[in-house]
A and B are shown apart, each in its own frame.
Chain A
Amino acid sequence: QKEVEQDPGPLSVPEGAIVSLNCTYSNSAFQYFMWYRQYSRKGPELLMYTYSSGNKEDGRFTAQVDKSSKYISLFIRDSQPSDSATYLCASSIIQGAQKLVFGQGTRLTINP
């Protein structure tokens, strides 16, 4: 079983729609939860991170973590064509090297 599971998609939605991206994880020691965005042929860039459970909002993006169900979510409101990318969830333990454990990534396309 992979430590972080993510549906690879692809996911295609019309411009302006609300997008929901999800991951599950199995390691109870994970305390940090991140969402990275990766455009084609580029390196990942950090969108948001959350410590432990709860919600975090940044503009059109909202990240949620439910540690009781080991569920990670990213919501994108008023989606734009420029949001088209691969979205990767990642988790790490709280201390030490904090090496990231990534999900497979979901390829998202926003259609104008």
Chain B
Amino acid sequence: NAGVMQNPRHLVRRRGQEARLRCSPMKGHSHVYWYRQLPEEGLKFMVYLQKENIIDESGMPKERFSAEFPKEGPSILRIQQVVRGDSAAYFCASSPRLAGARSYNEQFFGPGTRLTVL
């Protein structure tokens, strides 16, 4: 049973270019979370998606960032017109279901995509 897959593992972009980060959740998982880890900082929540729906995007920057999780295919985190401050590790996590009360819904993390903006 393959874990969460992310690609590319490393991505280098010049300022102003677009970055597309892909995440394939674990088999049977329909919930995807994206987190960003800046150097020397902990992970920060960005967005939570279910198939074809954005459920919570409270952690997404208001401009240049977007995310989708189509019916078929991986989840995509898209960053337009990248700037140096976007350089970070971007982690995707997936979980199998929405938890009810007292039921912890473990999130399984992928290996991350390390974005470097020159």
B109 engages A49 (CB within 8 Å):
no
Within the complex, which residue of B41, B43, B100, B101 is in contact with A100, where a contact is CB–CB below 8 Å?
A: B43
CA distance A42 to B100 in the complex (A): 30
A103 engages B48 (CB within 8 Å):
no
Q: Does B91 contact A (CB under 8 A)?
A: yes
Q: Which residues of B contact A98 (CB under 8 A)?
A: 95, 99, 104-105, 107
Q: Which residues of B contact A51 (CB under 8 A)?
A: 102, 104
11 CB < 8 A contacts A-B? A8-B40, A43-B91, A88-B42, A88-B43, A90-B43, A97-B56, A99-B33, A99-B48, A99-B56, A102-B44, A104-B40
Q: Which residues of A contact B40 (CB under 8 A)?
A: 8, 104
Q: Which residues of B contact A43 (CB under 8 A)?
A: 4, 91, 109-112
Number of interface residues of B (CB under 8 A): 30
User: What 1/0 flags go to B51-72 for Cβ under 8 Å of A?
Assistant: 0000110010000000000000
Q: Which residues of A contact B56 (CB under 8 A)?
A: 97, 99
Q: Which residues of B contact A104 (CB under 8 A)?
A: 40-42
Residue among B40, B56, B59, B99 with the highest chain A CB neighbour number at 10 A: B99
Residue among A96, A97, A105 with the highest chain B CB neighbour number at 10 A: A97
